[in-house]
Amino acid sequence: MPDARRSVLVVEDEEPFQEILARTFAPFGFDLRKAYSNGQARAVLAAGVPLSGAIIDVQLPDGSGFEFLAELRKVYPRLPIAVCTAHLDRSLVNTAARYSARYVCKDGKEELAAFAREIISHPPGGNGALAEAVAAFAKKYKLSPRERQVLEGRAFEKLSKEIADELRVSPKTIKTHVAHILIKCGRGSLEDVARELRAQARLG
pLDDT of residue 119: 82
How confident is the chain (204 residues) per 10-residue block, as mean pLDDT? Answer: 65 92 87 94 86 93 95 85 86 87 84 83 59 88 91 84 81 96 96 89 60
pLDDT of residue 6: 77
Contact 100, 168 (CB under 8 A): no
Domain 4-121, classified CATH 3.40.50.2300, yes or no: yes
Domain 127-203, classified CATH 1.10.10.10, yes or no: yes
pLDDT of residue 89: 83
DSSP letters for 80-107: -EEEEESS--HHHHHHHHHTT-EEEETT
pLDDT of residue 170: 92
Looking at every residue in the chain, the average pLDDT score rounds to 86
pLDDT of residue 167: 77
What is the C-alpha to C-alpha distance for residues 109 and 33, in angstroms, rounded to an integer?
Answer: 19
Question: Residue ranges of the domains in the chain?
Answer: 4-121, 127-203
Q: Give the orientation angle of helix 15-25 with respect to helix 109-121, to 10 degrees.
A: 50
What is the C-alpha to C-alpha distance for residues 107 and 113, in angstroms, rounded to an integer?
Answer: 12
pLDDT tens digits for range 12-21: 999 999 999 9
SS3 content of the chain, % helix, strand, coil (to 5): 60, 15, 25
Phi, psi torsion values for 143, nearest 5 degrees: -75, 150
pLDDT of residue 2: 40
Check residue 48 and give left, alpha or beta (phi > 0: left; psi -120 to 50: alpha).
left
- What's 189's DSSP letter? -
pLDDT tens digits for range 58-92: 999 999 999 999 999 888 887 889 999 888 788 88
DSSP letters for 5-50: GGEEEEE-S-HHHHHHHHHHHGGGT-EEEEESSHHHHHHHHHTT--
**CB count, 10 Å around CB of 23?**
10
What is the C-alpha to C-alpha distance for residues 6 and 186, in angstroms, rounded to an integer?
Answer: 30
